[in-house]
């Protein structure tokens, strides 16, 4: 299950520098994804995508041991700690400070992530084996992934299919023009399982 944290901070550096600074933490193992959404002065807005499965243990322990802390604040503290451990440096310090102060915005589009972060156990997302090909390929390729729903699994499959292209975005755009839809791939089979699927 995914949730999101949005942080707005002063635009003290170019967006490219902020992006590169934050990327260092993700290169060193920070969980999830991020995107700098706006680049206008006087502020930048950064959106972080997180998952309950990655964060539940830390958040639950923090809420249990720190008086008065909310689930959303605990999630922000964890994210800030990961960025700090990733040595993002001074450029991203305003983002880290906003998270430490609980000044970000937490939202999950009604998915129930706030409640799920405190649950004792969380059912794992199902596993998927999807077979298909990109336009022009002679043979199908199978990829295995874990995703909450069918649509998410199909998008993950498409991402994997184009990852090896020299320009993945352009390759997908060209393929979408041929195939239609928003994936750019032909999918021939979709199999899901509650237990891990081994890729041979």
What pLDDT digit, counting tens, does each position of 137-193 carry?
Answer: 889 999 998 888 888 899 999 999 998 888 888 988 998 988 877 899 999 999 988
The count of structural domains within the chain is: 2
| Domain shared by 37 and 106, yes or no | yes
pLDDT (mean) for 24-52: 86
Contact partners, residue 162, CB within 8 Å, separation at least 6: 134, 168, 171, 172, 175, 184
Residues 6+ apart with CB under 8 A from 67: none
Whole-angstrom distance, CA of residue 113 vs CA of residue 95: 22
Exposure string of 47-62, with b = 16+ CB inside 10 Å and e = fewer, is bbebbbbebbebbbeb
Q: Is 176 helix (H, G, I), strand (E, B) or coil?
A: helix
- Do 106 and 155 lie in one domain? The reply is no
Domain boundary among 116, 140, 169: 116
**Burial tier of 46 (Cβ tally within 10 Å: 0-12, 13-18, 19+):** buried
Of 54, 84, 116, the residue that ends a domain is 116
d(CA 187, CA 48): 30
* Average pLDDT of the segment spanning 66-73: 89
Whether 37 and 110 map to the same domain: the answer is: yes
Question: The domain containing residue 87 runs over which residues?
Answer: 2-116
Label residue 28 by pLDDT band (50, 70, 90): confident
Check residues 121 and 26 and name the one with the higher pLDDT: 26
What per-residue confidence (pLDDT) applies to 116?
84
pLDDT band at 41 (very low <50, low <70, confident <90, very high): low
Residues 90 and 142 in one domain: no
Q: What is d(CA 67, CA 193) in angstroms, rounded to the nearest whole number?
A: 41
156 & 101 share domain:
no
Q: For 110, which DSSP code?
A: T
Number of H helices, E strands in the chain: 7, 7
64 vs 119: which has the higher pLDDT: 64
Shared domain for 43 and 76, answered yes or no, is yes
pLDDT score recorded for residue 78: 92
108 and 167, same domain (yes or no): no
134 and 95 co-located in one domain: no
How far is it, in rounded angstroms, from Cα 94 to Cα 100?
A: 10
The answer to whether residue 200 scores a pLDDT higher than 70 is no
User: pLDDT value at position 73?
Assistant: 93
């Amino acid at each position: 299950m995914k949730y999101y944290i949005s942080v707005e901070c002063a635009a003290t550096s170019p967006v490219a520098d902020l992006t590169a600074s934050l990327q260092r933490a993700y290169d060193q193992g920070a969980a999830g994804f991020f995107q700098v959404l706006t680049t206008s002065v006087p502020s930048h807005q950064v959106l972080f995508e997180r998952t309950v499965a990655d964060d539940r243990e830390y958040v639950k322990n923090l809420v249990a041991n720190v008086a008065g802390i909310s689930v959303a604040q605990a999630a922000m503290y964890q994210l800030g700690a990961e960025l700090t451990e990733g040595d993002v440096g001074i450029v991203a310090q305003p983002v880290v400070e906003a998270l430490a102060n609980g000044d970000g915005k937490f939202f999950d589009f009604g998915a129930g992530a706030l409640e799920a972060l405190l649950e004792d156990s969380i059912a794992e997302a199902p596993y998927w084996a999807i077979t298909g090909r990109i336009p022009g390929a002679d043979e199908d390729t199978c990829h295995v992934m874990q995703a909450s729903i069918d649509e998410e699994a199909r998008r993950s499959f498409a991402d994997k299919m184009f990852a090896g292209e020299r320009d993945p975005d352009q390759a997908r755009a060209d393929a979408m023009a041929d195939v239609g839809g928003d994936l750019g791939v032909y999918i021939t089979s979709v199999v899901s399982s509650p237990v891990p699927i081994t890729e041979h």
